[in-house]
Amino acid sequence: MRGMPAAMGRKRAVLVGINYPGRDDELKGCFNDVTRMRRCLIERFGFDEADIRVLADADPSTPAPTGANIRQELERLVREARPGDTLFFHYSGHGMQLPAETGQDDDTGYDECIVPCDGNLIKDQDFKELVAKVPDGCIFTIVSDSCHSGGLIDKAKEQIGNSTRQNKTEHPERVTLTRHPFGACAFLLRIVHGVFDSLGIHLPRLVQSGGTETNTKAGASTRAASIKSRSLPLSAFIKMLRETTGEDDVGVGTIRTTLFRHFGDDASPKIKKFVQVMASKLRQDGKLEGNEAGQVGTLDRALEQDQAHGDGVKEVYAGTTASAPPLPLNGVLISGCQTDQTSGDATTEEGVSYGLLSNAVQTILARKHDGTVTNRELVLKARELLSRQGVTTQQPGLYCSDEHASLPFIC
């Protein structure tokens, strides 16, 4: 069967935790998340320490979690994969959405992105193309404890969730305030929190009594935690880009061109293709010359290679139907939330910080120490656990083929 392991192979992982220290949008629990996951991979799943790569801004002994470094590690992970291997990527950090490029056929209407420490975005289409390169007989599992992470593998089938346009049409959300476990008033307050979060204003919140249980190294159990959103609003991201690039005129309409201009060949492949197309049109119209024309010209060879592989620029612009790359059938995504939701970065009264999805995963795995848990079971149990903790605005999702939904987590 396509994508299922052919034989026991090598187990390899890339773990990325970004706390963005010193910034207004600083998070607290991301490094803790990957530290716990690293220990779990070794002790529960039999990974060799040498086969786990960690990138974290809270640990100077690791490579910096820049866009180029993360992309390099993921590409190496896939390039060296063989049938029977287990590939795993855990990301804890900010997520964000960009409006999809003009005419682009995106199943959510946005580009879901993860936000490296330098702002060099990695987009959902990048993950799609990466997973499409995974050889048959090998499975690449991604856990993204970040905001707007539903659909992070573009075009992957949605098993659990309501992020894609198709699922929103077929299974519209129905909300009955009187049936909410904490009543209509509490539910409306959570909506207000969600609105402020989307604007980058983070109000303090307490999980209801009987709330967050955390399986920390010390074995502590807490009942209350303040929760900060792991969503990076466009305004905050533009501020990050201005600080990183030194360009004060960065705006919503120039994000992609700024990323290309500053990061060059290290920018997202989709960013480069978009800029290529726009520049080609300007050049044809006689509106691009000098240094700008020369800079874009350096990508001509890459463009020719893309076209030779049936992945031309028509896929990126104007909604035309060029030969599309293969669907990402050998990947499994467990998202922290839906595309229109935020994921929580929690800090307990005792000062213990973690991501809500990451903590739920660890809690469930600890309870299933005597057996395996399938990808579907893990996501459903995570949803149930977060709901019991009073977290109703964050619903984890599962994106993969039908057969992979019933396979054990990290098989």
Give me the catalytic one of 30, 113, 117, 147: 147
Alpha-carbon distance of 408 to 411, in angstroms, equals 5
DSSP state of 200: T
Written as six digits, the tokens of 120 are: 């060099």
CA 341 to CA 197: how far, in whole Å? 10
Which residues are within 8 A (CB) of 225 and not within 5 positions of it... i.e. 6 or more apart?
Answer: 206, 207, 211, 212, 346, 347, 348, 349
Residue 94 annotated among the catalytic residues of the structure: yes
- Are 353 and 32 in contact by the 8 Å Cβ rule? The answer is yes
Catalytic residue among 30, 90, 94, 202: 94
Nearest to 95 by CA among 173, 36, 147: 147
* Burial classification of residue 23, based on how many CB atoms lie within 10 Å of its CB (0-12 exposed, 13-18 middle, 19 or more buried): middle
Q: In sequence order, which residues have a C-beta less than 8 Å from that of residue 383 and are 6 or more positions away?
A: 160, 395, 396
The neighbour count for residue 238, using CB atoms within 10 Å, is 17
Annotation marks residue 40 as catalytic: no
Q: What is the dihedral of CA 53, 379, 330, 309, to 10 degrees?
A: -80
> Which tokens go with 374?
């399938």
| Nearest-angstrom CA–CA distance, 357 and 342 | 11
Give the closest residue to 202 by CA, choosing from 308, 345, 7, 303.
345
The string of DSSP letters for 224-275 reads -EEEEE-B--HHHHHHHHHHHH--TT--GGGHHHHHHHHHGGGS-HHHHHHH
Give the catalytic positions in this structure. Answer: 94, 147
